[in-house]
Amino acid sequence: ARALGRGVTARGEVLMRDSDGTPRLRFTLRDCLPVRIRGAALNAREGVLALEEMQIAYRAFTVEPA
């Protein structure tokens, strides 16, 4: 039996919007999985913007108008 979470891929979508929030492009990812996730420590007292980063590996992707 496979270990939980091993060998499992998914389909994903990334929607790009313009400065008004209107959807412009759609990236559809096939057979993808996250390979790295990084986030900032949350501290409400500092009042800074928290940025997160995710790297995704994929077998193929398509790009189309949204």
| Paired residues of 26 in beta bridges | 15, 64
Predicted pLDDT of residue 1: 46
Q: Within 13 Å, how many C-alpha atoms sit on residue 3's CB side? A: 1
Question: What is the full per-residue pLDDT of the chain (66 aa) written as tens digits?
Answer: 455 556 788 999 999 999 999 999 999 999 999 899 998 877 777 777 888 999 999 999 999 999
Q: Is 7 left (phi over 0), alpha (psi -120 to 50) or beta?
A: left
Predicted pLDDT of residue 41: 79
pTM value is: 0.69
Predicted pLDDT of residue 51: 86
The residue whose two tokens read 């189309």 is 64
Predicted pLDDT of residue 5: 59
One-letter amino acid of 52: E
